[in-house]
Amino acid sequence: MKPSEVVYFILKEKKLFTPQSDCIARAYAPSNIALCKYWGKRDQQLNLPVTSSLSVSLGDRGSYVALSISAASHDTIILNGNPVEPVSAFAKRFAIFMDLFRHSPAPFYFHAEIISTIPVGAGLASSACGFASLVLALDQLFNWQLTPRELSILARLGSGSASRSLWSGFVEWQCGERVDGMDSHGIPLDVIWPDLCIGLLIFTDKEKPISSRVAMQCTLETSPLYHDWPQHVAHDLALIKQAIIQKDFNLLAATAEANAVAMHATMQSAVPAIDYCLPATRAAMEKVWQLRKDGIAVYFTQDAGSNLKLLFLRHDLALVRQNFKHVEVVTPFLSSGEAIDDEHKVK
């Protein structure tokens, strides 16, 4: 099945593709980091995963978009105040996704002003929040009034992890079984954990050397360890859900760290080997492990990039800041008014 057929299936009852030309649709979607990772597709065109996965959103770190119909004869994109070249990889990926929604008899193009509060392409799920915010804006622009689950399916067509960025907090992306993927979407967990903190350790904001799309397919096809990955995920996912319900931080964070390490071991055994770590990444891992030996409950997770995300509880904030001078702290369950507002003070 093709992505365009999925779009048609979801939108067939709607006033399909008639853009409201004088409207500017504004939307925001948070980035998310997987505590139990998605790595490998059962359908590459529809981004259907081999396994389910589970993430936590990154609060105010995400993508804001203002979407309208462009007067130009091609899509126009302004990213963080700078025009994006139509020939760039970013613009091409945008256009391919937006083509799914251009079925009006008269050709039309989009104008998107995007503010990303997370570095783009650096393994910080900028594509997840990017595609999720785009489908939210499209829903407004075309007045479809889709459900969050339908929007999650559409966002998945842009990037798998985007299916989890339609909600804040914990979200499970159920892999589903159907070939059309209509049962493969995010489902939010009704749990709030205000003390949970995420620390972003950003070592580089450069584009990652190999995209997650290419890396996960190479792992699936060549890694001798990939065979066991779905069993690891089933085990880790059950533990992580149990830990969230019981608010058992050590179980949650230890399982998330082990899951990330297993994912990277699986890709390191691919041919050719895939290694996203920089020396600074490994040094930070060593530091985390040393801190745990010293009795501080700090853990990490890592996606398809060299940056790390620390997991810790709010009472360890000052210690984490002492040990990681450049850490950027995100509190997924606090509203901005309640957020940690300066170096050592929690409101």
The span from the CA of 315 to the CA of 280, in Å, is: 26
The span from the CA of 196 to the CA of 194, in Å, is: 6
Query: Which of the stretches 33-41, 86-94, 288-296, 319-327 binds ligand PMV when contact is defined by CB under 6 A?
Result: 33-41
Q: Which two tokens stand for residue 107?
A: 């050709």
The span from the CA of 62 to the CA of 321, in Å, is: 22
Site string for ligand PMV, 138-177 (x = CB under 6 A): ---------------------xxx----------------
Least gap, CB of 59 to ligand PMV (angstroms): 17
| Cα-based torsion angle of the residue sequence 246, 248, 254, 260 in order, rounded to the nearest 10 degrees | 50
Of 27 and 175, CB closest to ligand PMV: 175
303 near ligand PMV (CB under 6 A)? yes
The span from the CA of 40 to the CA of 214, in Å, is: 10
CB atoms within 10 A of CB 182: 14
Please tell me whether the peptide bond between 332 and the residue prior to it is cis, using omega within 30 degrees of 0: no
Sign (positive/negative) of CA torsion 86, 100, 104, 81? negative
Category of 23 on φ-ψ map: left (φ > 0), alpha (ψ -120 to 50) or beta: beta
Least gap, CB of 158 to ligand PMV (angstroms): 9
Of 66 and 120, CB closest to ligand PMV: 120
Identify residues 39-58 at the interface with ligand PMV (CB under 6 A).
53
Least gap, CB of 128 to ligand PMV (angstroms): 6
Least gap, CB of 249 to ligand PMV (angstroms): 21
Sign (positive/negative) of CA torsion 301, 181, 6, 219? positive
Task: Please classify residue 87 by burial: count the beta carbons closer than 10 Å to its beta carbon, then call 0-12 exposed, 13-18 middle and 19+ buried.
Answer: exposed
| Distances, alpha carbon 102 to alpha carbons 8, 9, 121, 168, in Å | 11, 15, 26, 29
Of 301 and 323, CB closest to ligand PMV: 301
Query: Which of the stretches 34-42, 90-98, 114-122, 286-294 binds ligand PMV when contact is defined by CB under 6 A?
Result: 34-42
Taking CB under 6 A as the criterion, the residue among 38, 276, 324, 333 binding ligand PMV is 38
Of 25 and 252, CB closest to ligand PMV: 252
Kindly determine how many residues on this chain lie close enough to bind ligand PMV according to the rule CB under 6 A.
Answer: 13
37 near ligand PMV (CB under 6 A)? yes
Identify residues 118-137 at the interface with ligand PMV (CB under 6 A).
127-128
Least gap, CB of 54 to ligand PMV (angstroms): 9
Taking CB under 6 A as the criterion, the residue among 25, 27, 34, 141 binding ligand PMV is 34
Which residues sit at the interface with ligand PMV, rule CB under 6 A? Answer: 34, 37-38, 53, 127-128, 159-161, 212-213, 303-304
